[in-house]
Amino acid sequence: MKKVFCVLTMILTAGLFSACSNVSDEELTKAHEAVKNGALIVDVRTPAEFRGKHIEGAINLPVEEIMQGHIKKLPKNKVLVVYCRTGNRSSTSAKILTQEGWKVYDVATQSDWERKIKN
């Protein structure tokens, strides 16, 4: 258990201090297609942030809960699309969820999700 906590702490720390990368149009297109095919959108921000504004159809599962292993409510047979406010928490969440066996698209932010994709 101590080893898992250490690994999760390192992932969160790396996520907090790394620069957010822009999501490519290709990855964003794949994420939108995944949602059309039944993927679950997961907002990893706080409940207060989620109440303020969120992507339609998204569920709220804060990164802190993901880090504590509270992921059993996520269906294993679903692809996940994660996002947050800046991309840091979604990056951390995507790493953890991928390690736990989910196929995950990290779209970083709601703004990225909603942006126009260049054809």
Contact between 105 and 87 under an 8 Å Cβ cutoff? The reply is no
Instruction: Give the other-Cβ count within 10 Å of 75's Cβ.
Output: 11
Q: What is the DSSP string of 42-105?
A: EE-S-HHHHHH---TT-EE--HHHHHTT--TTS-TTS-EEEEESSSHHHHHHHHHHHHTT--EE
Considering the chain, what is the average pLDDT of its residues? Answer: 87
The tens digit of pLDDT for each residue in 16-56 reads 444 444 899 999 999 999 999 999 999 999 999 999 999 99
Confirm whether 119 is domain-assigned.
no
Question: Residue 118's pLDDT band (boundaries 50, 70, 90)?
Answer: confident
pLDDT of res. 91: 96
Contact between 101 and 76 under an 8 Å Cβ cutoff? The reply is yes
pLDDT of res. 37: 98
Instruction: Give the other-Cβ count within 10 Å of 38's Cβ.
Output: 10
Q: Which residue is catalytic, options 35, 61, 66, 84?
A: 84
Q: What range defines the domain where residue 45 resides?
A: 2-114
pLDDT of res. 73: 83
Q: Would the pLDDT of 68 be above 60?
A: yes
**Residue 84 annotated in active site:** yes
pLDDT of res. 22: 82
List the CATH number of the domain containing 24.
Answer: 3.40.250.10
Number of domains in the chain: 1
Q: Would the pLDDT of 14 be above 70?
A: no
